[in-house]
Every structure is written in structure tokens, then in C-alpha cells.
Amino acid sequence: MSDIRKALAEHLMFFKGWAVYLPFLILILCNFTDQYFITFQGGVATKSYTLSMPVYWVLVSIGTGISAIMAILLKQHIDAGDTDAMNRSASNAIVYTIIFSLIISLIVYLILLPILYSFTEDAVADTAFDFINPLLVFNFAITVNMVLMAILLTIGERKKYLFCLGLTLFAELAVDPIFIFIFDMGVYGNGLGTVTSLSISGLLALYWLLRGKTTLRISWRFVSLKPEDLRRAAKGVFVYAVPIASQHIGELVVRLKLYLTYSLTYGIPMLYSSFVAIIGSGTAASTGKEYKRLYEENDIDGAYSVFKTAMLEAFILMMIISTFMYVFDEELIWFFVNHSSLEESSYIGVWTLDVLCFSGPFLGLKIACGAVYSDRVGLKRDYLDILLIVIVRTIILVYALEYDFAMAMYLILAERMVIGILAVLQARMYILSKKKRVGPVTASSS
């Protein structure tokens, strides 16, 4: 299997970044698992789950930001060869993560949940809260798991990292039916199953790091909390997490508008679309460092060559997967029709999948283009732009839904196509502008 992966990595850039995008793939597969078991519980449960998904991804995106900044701080000490600082940084990361996650859970309780109850029926809101509640109570377990995975990856423990990710998925498959059907916990069991599966793999990673089974060791003795370090970490988390979290908050507003007709008509097709877009994350992960290296060497021709190859490979691969979804649209939707109350909406779900599956490749291109800007330092303007785009997009979609569901879906497709194409053109201009500054002679030509 490793030989196959190495062969693919030599020819397809997407496979070179497998270790970075794999956590997102695992989380999406866990979402599919939850969605499958939820549909056995009827229409209200399915609507509630898909309605609560943006809240879940807000927590995950903030966890991603926390793990990213903690990995950056740790990498600085690794590059300096300071073992004591490495151990101290990793130990502090766990404590900082718990602090941040508790604050985030409180904010979500105070802000998002009242919105949920204000715009939905009580039965739907209660069921959605049943899923969200264990995620918020044990949000620290979710976020610490993500930080532990980032630590394993940063110190080069890829086999342990991969084992933990696989364990998360298999644990989810095992505990979900136990909580839902045997203990009769319903939607609450789904949320508890998600937390449990992540906790199992997180505890294993924590055991390795506590017992010195890796090149790095964490301990309470190494914890040294300093206000300046906490401020630095908080600033980094804000910069990394706000753009992604804001998009999911905008998605929540759209889903609140849709919840009455929602069960299979929007949530599951969007999940399939996200599955396609993960290819873009893999491409970005595999090319980011390459772009930065080529920029530093002033090899702009080389960077442009990497860009063209990466975009072409990613788009072709995503279109192949989208075409597969289009051909087998009924089978992919009806797999989730496990209750009679979902049959009527499944036909609209099939149509929605046919439209949205082809939006995934363009969303993936936009994500892949982000790696082109790997040498940029200032991020403030970036996340302000993203917040503005999210607000405008949400307003337009909400007004479109007032008119027609089909119109809103076509609008999402058109929006992603335009944004994907513009992202490619803008990234191309960014690379070529460097060539003008460097001049006609580059490293590759000399």
C-alpha cells in the first residue's frame, strides 16, 4: 500500500499533502456516518442534524485555527533544536487549548443557541440542541484531539498520526449505533458518539506523549503560562479561525431559512460537495511549501509551472468524482432514506445533488489557490475581505430563497463557479507579478 501511495505522490500533487488534509476527510466521513444513523430517527431528527452541522463546523474550524498556531509555535522550537522548549511549548499548547475551547463553548451557548431557538420550531431546535450539547460540553476534547494530531504530525510521527485518524473513524462507526439504538439516546447519542470517537484517539495520542513514546514529551511540570504567550496564541487563533468560522455562521443563517424543507434537499448534497472540495485542500497542502521555496529562489517560472500542473490535476480529479456523483445520484441519496418521512424530500435531494456536485470542483480550486500566497505576511485584510464576502453572500442567498429553492441552488453553483475562476485568475496574476519584479532571468533559466 505504501508503494502505491509513493507512486501516486510522485505523479499527483494531491497525494503529496495527504497527511495535512486527511483530518478533514476523516471528519467529513464521520459526518456521513452520523447522517446515516440520524436518518433512521425520522424527518425531525434529520432536519435538526443538518441544521446543527454549521455549529459543529464552527467548533472544528476554530479547533483548526488553534491547532495550526500551536503547530507553528512548536515548529519554531524544533527548528532551533531546543528540546526543553519543544516539551514546554507542547505542554503549554494543551493548557491553552482547554482555555480557548471553554471560552468558545460559552460564546456559542450565549449567541448561537438563542438564534437557533428564535428561528426554528421548538421541536426542531430541541433536537438540534440534543446533538450540539455534548459537542459544546466536551468541546475541549475535540479541540485537544486536533492539537494532539497537529503535534504528532509536526514532530514527524506520521504512523501514529495516521493510526489515530483511522481509530477515530472506526470508533465512530462502533459507538454511534450503541448510543443511538442500544442505549436509545437518539440524536444526543450521535453527538456523544462524535465526542467519544475523538476522545479515544486523543487519549491514545496523549498517552504516547506523556509516556515519552515519541521524540517529544509533555508533562504538567513543563507548563509555564505567560500572558504574552497567551496573547500571541490568541491572536494567531483569531487570524486562522475567524475566516473559516464566519463562513459556517453564514451557512447557519442559510440553513435556518431552509430548515422546514431541508432533510435531504440541501444538507446531504452539500456534504457530498464538501467531499469533492477536499481535493483542493490536498492540493494546497502539497504545494504551499513548494511555492514558498520557489519564491525564495526567485524561480517564478518554476512556481508558475507548479501552479498550472496543480490546478489542472485538481480540477480533473474533482470533475471525475463529481461526474460519478451525478451518474449515481439516486443511489447516493437513497442510501440515506431510512425512514418513510424522508421519501418525499429525497427526490428534491437527488436534483440538488445533480446541481451542487459540480460546484465542488470550483470550491476546491479556490481552496487550492490559497497556497499561492504562502509567502504573504499580512492577513488582516484577508479575513476582513472574507467577512464582507460572507455577509453579502448570505444576504443574497436568503433573499433568493424567498423567491425559489431552485433559484438559490443555481445561485450557489454560479457563485462557486465565478469565485473559483476568479481565484485561479487572481493567483495567476499574483505569480506573474512576481516575475515582473524579479525580471526575465529566474533560477530555472539561469
Domain positions in the chain:
18-242, 264-438
Q: Name the least confident of 235-249, 339-353, 404-418.
A: 235-249
How does residue 8 score in pLDDT terms, banded at 50, 70 and 90?
very low
Matching residue, cell 499533502: 17
- Contact in structure between 113 and 129 (CB atoms under 8 Å): yes
Q: Name the least confident of 82-86, 155-159, 166-170, 238-242.
A: 238-242
Decide if pLDDT at 80 tops 70.
yes
Decide if pLDDT at 3 tops 80.
no
Q: Which of 119-133, 187-201, 374-388 has the highest mean pLDDT?
A: 187-201
What is the reported pLDDT for 379?
44
Cut 0.85: pTM above it: no
Matching residue, cell 444576504: 395
Decide if pLDDT at 443 tops 60.
no
Q: How distant, in Å, are the alpha carbons of 198, 283, 431, 441 from that of 435?
A: 46, 23, 7, 9
Please give the Cα distance from 178 to 142 (Å, whole number): 20
pLDDT digit string (tens) for 151-165? 998 898 988 988 998
Please give the Cα distance from 21 to 284 (Å, whole number): 9
Cell of residue 333, nine digits:
441519496
What is the reported pLDDT for 196?
95
Decide if pLDDT at 328 tops 90.
yes
Decide if pLDDT at 261 tops 60.
no
Q: Look at 52 and 352; give whichever has higher pLDDT.
A: 352
What is the reported pLDDT for 382?
56
How does residue 188 score in pLDDT terms, banded at 50, 70 and 90?
very high
What is the reported pLDDT for 378?
46
Decide if pLDDT at 186 tops 90.
no
Q: Look at 92 and 264; give whichever has higher pLDDT.
A: 92
Residues 303-327 have a mean pLDDT of 91
Residues 32-59 have a mean pLDDT of 84
Q: Look at 177 and 439; give whichever has higher pLDDT.
A: 177
pLDDT digit string (tens) for 281-301? 777 777 877 888 888 888 999
What is the reported pLDDT for 326?
95
What is the reported pLDDT for 100?
87
How does residue 320 score in pLDDT terms, banded at 50, 70 and 90?
very high
Decide if pLDDT at 130 tops 80.
yes
How does residue 17 score in pLDDT terms, banded at 50, 70 and 90?
low
Please give the Cα distance from 258 to 274 (Å, whole number): 19
3-state secondary structure 179-223: HHHHCCCCHHHHHHHHHHHHHHHHHHHHHHHHCCCCCCCCCHHHC
Average pLDDT of the chain, as a whole number = 82
pLDDT digit string (tens) for 374-402? 776 444 445 566 667 777 777 887 778 77
pLDDT digit string (tens) for 302-314? 999 989 988 998 8
Decide if pLDDT at 28 tops 50.
yes
Decide if pLDDT at 184 tops 60.
yes
Q: Name the least confident of 175-179, 243-247, 271-275.
A: 243-247
How does residue 144 score in pLDDT terms, banded at 50, 70 and 90?
very high
How does residue 205 score in pLDDT terms, banded at 50, 70 and 90?
very high
The percent of residues above 70 in pLDDT, for the chain, comes to 87
